[in-house]
Homo-oligomer: A and B are copies of this chain.
Amino acid sequence: MHIGLIGLGKMGFNMRDRLREQGIEVTGFDRDPELTDVTTLDGLVSALPSPRIIWVMVPAGQITDGVVHELSEALSEGDLVIDGGNSKFSDDQIHATLLAQRGIRFVDCGVSGGVWGLANGYGLMAGGSTEDIELAMPIFDALRPEGDRAESFVHVGDIGAGHYAKMVHNGIEYGLMQSYAEGYELLEAKGIVRDVHGTFAAWQKGTVVRSWLLDLLVKALEEDPNLSRIAGYVEDSGEGRWTVEEAIANSVPAPAITAALFARFSSRQEDAPAMKMVAALRQQFGGHAVKPSRQPPG
């Protein structure tokens, strides 16, 4: 099998390597001339056998929109586009409809595993028709870890379902990380535990909380005890937000995942306006002292 892969960033670059290791021929395309195998999209399209299969692995939103639009013009009837990025599930139907106007097929596939996927294989959640997913199965089998397919690949449902499952996966991930992190902070704050790193390390086997994230946590503490080199500043990408939006839209209480999202927002604030207001109110009714702002009132 010979496929195209658009986007050779942190994820796509590794996936190209893994696919090749597993015997899939891959022509990669990226704007970065250092990374790309071909210089133009047309070059990519003409390099592939028909029906062409192109895996798209670029940032969600406008960039994915643009790539899908270009592919809708460059590809032919019967070709297949797989969006492996972190697109919002509601974008998938739009992309599928656009491509279908030219007879081009579409599958959305959530991909989990991060930089470790190259070595370990990726967890995959695909949405689309059974026929289209069967066509791409050799790719999925190459990307996922060896062993039972059902433990690392799922045909989730129709178009959009793959990205929906990936969105929820990431929402859960937010909650898991926040839970470990709260426990970490409490152990550090209390001081009763002499060896916080050793405590997490000892949870890796036998305990109820053992997980891959816990293993990474132990690794992080090995590399930087007390995390002294890292600021408590956390970005968030779309999927945590979309998970909470979907929870709201479906009347599902999601307090832990939402707490994780809000904690990230707070982590990026120097001086939260809300907390300025609470301080101001306490001063108003109780005459409580406030801490003056570091910023000049200018």
A residues with a Cβ closer than 8 A to B are 10, 89, 112-117, 120-125, 144-145, 147-148, 150-158, 160-161, 164-165, 168-190, 192-195, 198-199, 201-214, 216-217, 219-220, 224, 227-235, 241, 243-288, 290-295, 297-298
Question: Which of A185, A202, A262, A265 has the most chain B CB atoms closer than 10 A to its own CB?
Answer: A202
Given contacts A122-B207, A152-B207, A233-B290, 8 further A-B contacts (CB under 8 A): A121-B206, A152-B206, A165-B193, A178-B255, A180-B277, A185-B253, A234-B279, A255-B262
Bound Cα distance A51, B204 (Å):
32
A-B contact pairs, 24 of them (CB 8 A): A10-B286, A112-B206, A120-B205, A150-B198, A157-B193, A161-B193, A171-B179, A171-B182, A171-B183, A173-B208, A175-B175, A176-B176, A181-B273, A188-B273, A209-B213, A216-B281, A228-B298, A229-B297, A232-B269, A241-B249, A244-B244, A251-B268, A258-B259, A263-B275
Closest to A280 in B: B220
Bound Cα distance A264, B290 (Å):
13
- The interface residues of chain B lying within 8 Å CB-to-CB of A241 are 248-249
Q: Are A274 and B208 in contact (CB under 8 A)?
A: no
Enumerate the 9 nearest inter-chain pairs by beta-carbon distance, A residue then B residue, closest first: A175-B179, A211-B211, A123-B207, A154-B202, A255-B259, A232-B275, A123-B206, A112-B207, A181-B274
- The interface residues of chain B lying within 8 Å CB-to-CB of A220 are 277, 280-281, 283-284
Question: Which of A148, A268, A271 has the most chain B CB atoms closer than 10 A to its own CB?
Answer: A271
- The interface residues of chain B lying within 8 Å CB-to-CB of A230 are 276, 279-280, 283, 290-293
Question: Which of A190, A195, A208 has the most chain B CB atoms closer than 10 A to its own CB?
Answer: A208
